[in-house]
Amino acid sequence: MSSREIEILENTLLVVADNGQIEVVKPRIGRGEVPALLQARRKTRSQHDDDDTERDDSVVVHYLERTQFFIPGFVDTHNHAPQWAMRGLGQGLHILDWLDRVTFPHEARFADPAHARRVYARCVAGFLQQGVTTAAYYGSRHAAATDVLADVCLARGQRALVGKCNMDRNAPDTYRDADAAESLRDTEACLAHVRALDPERRLLQYVLTPRFAITCTPALLRGLGDIAARSKSEEQPEGLAIQTHFNEAEQEMTSTCSLFPEFRDEVELYAHFGLLTPRTILAHCCYATDDELDRLGALGCGVAHCPVSNMTVGGGFMAAPVRAFLDRGIPVGLGTDSGGGFSSSMLDAMRQALVASNAREVQSGGELKGLTIPEVFHLATLGGARVCGLQGKVGTLEVGKEFDALLVNADPQRPGVMTMVEDEDSLATIFEKFVMTGDDRSIERVYVRGRLVKS
pLDDT, tens digit, 9 for 90 and up, residues 267-290: 999 999 999 999 999 999 999 899
Q: Is-contact 95 313, C-beta < 8 A?
A: yes
pLDDT on residue 174: 94
Work out the angle between the directed axes of helices 346-363 and 427-437 (0-180°, nearest 10). Answer: 90
Q: Residue 353 and residue 372: Cα distance in Å, rounded?
A: 9
Q: Residue 370 and residue 354: Cα distance in Å, rounded?
A: 7
**Mean pLDDT along residues 35-64:** 74
Q: Output the DSSP codes for 182-233.
A: HHHHHHHHHHHHHHHH-TT-SSEEEEEEE--GGG--HHHHHHHHHHHHHT--
Can you give the pTM of this predicted structure?
0.96
Is the alpha carbon torsion for 323, 377, 449, 397 positive or negative?
Answer: negative
Cα–Cα nearest to 156, from 175, 133, 130: 133
| pLDDT > 90? residue 179 | yes
Beta bridge partners of 70: 407
- Report the relative pairing of strands 204-210 and 241-246 from DSSP bridges: parallel
pLDDT digits (tens, 9 = 90+) for 347-369: 999 999 999 999 999 999 999 99
| pLDDT > 60? residue 51 | no
Beta bridge partners of 263: none
Work out the angle between the directed axes of helices 180-197 and 143-156 (0-180°, nearest 10). Answer: 20
pLDDT on residue 408: 98
Among the residue ranges 56-70, 107-121, 421-435, the one predicted with the least confidence is 56-70
| pLDDT > 60? residue 52 | no
Cα–Cα nearest to 269, from 280, 256, 279, 287: 256
pLDDT on residue 318: 76
Q: Where are the beta strands (DSSP E) in 225-356?
A: 241-246, 280-284, 302-305, 332-334
Q: Is-contact 307 320, C-beta < 8 A?
A: yes
Q: Is-contact 18 56, C-beta < 8 A?
A: yes
Distant-in-sequence, close-in-space partners of 295: CB < 8 Å, separation ≥ 6:
267, 271
Q: Is-contact 383 431, C-beta < 8 A?
A: no
Q: Residue 271 and residue 367: Cα distance in Å, rounded?
A: 29
pLDDT digits (tens, 9 = 90+) for 219-234: 999 999 999 999 998 7
pLDDT on residue 2: 60
Q: Is-contact 313 98, C-beta < 8 A?
A: yes
The share of the chain scoring above pLDDT 70, in percent, equals 96
pLDDT digits (tens, 9 = 90+) for 383-427: 999 999 999 999 999 999 999 999 999 999 999 999 999 999 999
Cα–Cα nearest to 79, from 144, 128, 147: 128
Q: Residue 66 and residue 373: Cα distance in Å, rounded?
A: 22
pLDDT category of residue 49 using cuts at 50, 70 and 90? low
Distant-in-sequence, close-in-space partners of 261: CB < 8 Å, separation ≥ 6:
none
Can you say how many angstroms the Cα of residue 108 is from the centroid of all Cα atoms in its chain?
24
pLDDT category of residue 53 using cuts at 50, 70 and 90? very low
Q: Is-contact 170 214, C-beta < 8 A?
A: yes
- Amino acid at residue number 455: S
- Amino acid at residue number 340: G
Long-range pairs of 14-18 with CB within 8 A, sequence gap ≥ 24: 14/70, 14/397, 15/41, 15/59, 16/403, 16/450, 17/450, 18/56, 18/450
The chain-wide mean pLDDT, for the chain, equals 94
A 10 A CB-CB count for 375 gives 25
- Amino acid at residue number 85: A
CA angle 72, 139, 240 (to 5 degrees): 70
Q: Residue 430 and residue 381: Cα distance in Å, rounded?
A: 18
pLDDT category of residue 94 using cuts at 50, 70 and 90? confident
Q: Residue 88 and residue 102: Cα distance in Å, rounded?
A: 11
- Amino acid at residue number 137: Y
Q: Residue 353 and residue 363: Cα distance in Å, rounded?
A: 15
Q: Residue 267 and residue 351: Cα distance in Å, rounded?
A: 29
